[in-house]
């Protein structure tokens, strides 16, 4: 039996976040003490650890909800879990590509100014002008 604070430090998830996860139905409401405080069983810790790691990997709460439902049915095919993970990986890689393009443009933009004053600043000029960019964004 954990208090919410003990669960929090074990799972490395902040106390208000745990209550938030309960509110949105990501974890089950635990039993309460006589004084109405939350008391968790050990399985709440493994559930929360799963959520924590999936969040750290960047999965959305909705995706994690789906994964939790799957996790609860060990006899179901796991293909859907693979689809969720692969989709997230694809999203991630698209995002990386996009940020790399921005990084290229910004590198160019920040190396362009020989002036000292705003009036002739090439950085400010380039920040406002897409025509010298090499990529879309």
134's contact among Zn ion, a second copy, DNA, none, with CB below 5 to 8 A by partner kind, is: none
In angstroms, the Cα distances linking 54 to 27, 59, 68, 69 are 14, 6, 11, 14
CB nearer to a second copy: give 5 or 58.
58
Residue 135 site contact among Zn ion, a second copy, DNA, none (CB < 5 to 8 Å, cut-off depends on kind): none
Q: Which residues on adjacent β-strands are paired with residue 32?
A: 38
Binding piece for DNA, criterion CB under 7 A, among 55-63, 82-90, 102-110, 114-122: 55-63
Cβ–Cβ under 8 Å, residues 45 and 10: yes
Binding-site residue total for Zn ion (CB under 5 A)?
6
Residues in the interface with DNA (CB under 7 A) total 21
Return all residues near 12 (Cβ < 8 A) that are at least 6 apart: 52
Contact 2, 44 (CB under 8 A): yes
The answer to whether 14 contacts DNA (rule: CB under 7 A) is yes
Of positions 25, 31, 37, 130, contacts DNA by CB under 7 A: 37
Among 8, 49, 71, 101, the residue binding DNA under the rule CB under 7 A is: 8
CA 61 to chain centre: 8
Q: Any idea which residue has 């650890």 for tokens?
A: 49
CB of 70 to a second copy, least distance (A): 5
């Amino acid at each position: 039996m954990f208090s919410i604070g003990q669960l929090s430090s074990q799972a490395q998830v902040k106390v208000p976040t745990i209550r938030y996860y309960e509110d949105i139905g990501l974890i089950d409401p635990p039993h309460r003490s006589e004084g109405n405080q939350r008391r968790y069983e050990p399985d709440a810790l493994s559930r929360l650890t799963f959520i924590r790691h999936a969040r750290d990997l960047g999965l959305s709460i909705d995706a994690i909800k789906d994964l939790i439902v799957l996790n609860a049915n060990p006899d179901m095919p796991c293909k859907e879990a693979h689809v969720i993970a692969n989709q997230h990986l694809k999203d991630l890689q698209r995002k990386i590509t996009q940020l790399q393009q921005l990084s290229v443009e910004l590198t160019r933009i920040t190396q362009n100014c020989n002036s000292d004053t705003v009036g002739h600043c090439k950085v400010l000029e380039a920040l406002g002008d897409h025509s010298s960019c090499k990529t879309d964004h």
